[in-house]
Amino acid sequence: MDALIDGYRRFRSEVWPAERARYEALARFGQSPQTMAIACSDSRVDPQTVFGAAPGEMFVLRNVGGLVPPYEPDAHYHGTSAAIEFAVRVLKVKRLVVLGHAQCGGVRAMALGPPPEARDFVAGWVEIARPALGGASGDTAPLAAIEAAVVRLSLANLRTFPWVAEAAAAGRLTLAGFRFDIETGVLSRVDADGVRPVE
């Protein structure tokens, strides 16, 4: 805990003074981010850092693998779907971004099998991404290709939400996919045509 408290103290002495007016405005007027980022929980890939976003500029959802499940309104718990609904229907974000990354443990767990200690929830969760394998197995397809395919799958699943599809069709919402390479720091756009580094 000492490291966390030290980090807070640095925040209060170095960041807070420069950002105080922003935080006060966010407290007074509420949030109105233009972008929602759906990303992996991996500690090495923070969407706000990758995209250089300031507090209040990005509504962020993180889960194992940065996965979006298909639209399934039922009595089960749907934390990811609830966050998407809040962002699109309440906050009315203009952009939905899926951010995948290199060396993704969630994608690896889906492709090659989860660690034995992570079978209560992780094993079932990463099955959402199974269609991204197509006919390949995790042993034969390069992990980078699977990571990009998982981003495409999450984008496709986003379009199964009727209010996402409707907002996108009306031009009120843009969907985009990216993959971040941890080692090189290169961000690439992922779309149906391939994976291309952002210039």
pLDDT digits (tens, 9 = 90+) for 65-107: 999 999 999 989 999 999 999 999 999 999 999 999 999 999 9
pLDDT digits (tens, 9 = 90+) for 134-190: 866 656 568 899 999 999 999 999 999 999 999 999 999 999 999 999 999 999 999
Two tokens at 162? 């009727």
Q: How far apart are CA 61 and CA 102, in angstroms?
A: 18
The pLDDT of residue 54: 95
Note the pTM of the prediction, 2 decimals: 0.93
The pLDDT of residue 75: 86
DSSP 41: -
Whether residue 41 has pLDDT greater than 80 = yes
Query: Strands 194-197, 95-101: parallel, antiparallel or unpaired by DSSP?
Result: unpaired
Whether residue 29 has pLDDT greater than 80 = yes
Determine the Cα angle at 97 with ends 102 and 63, to 5°.
Answer: 60
CATH numbers and ranges of domains, the chain: 1-30 (no CATH), 31-197 (3.40.1050.10)
Q: What is the average per-residue pLDDT within 112-131?
A: 93
Say if residues 141 and 111 touch (Cβ distance below 8 Å).
yes
Q: What is the average per-residue pLDDT within 44-63?
A: 97
The pLDDT of residue 134: 82
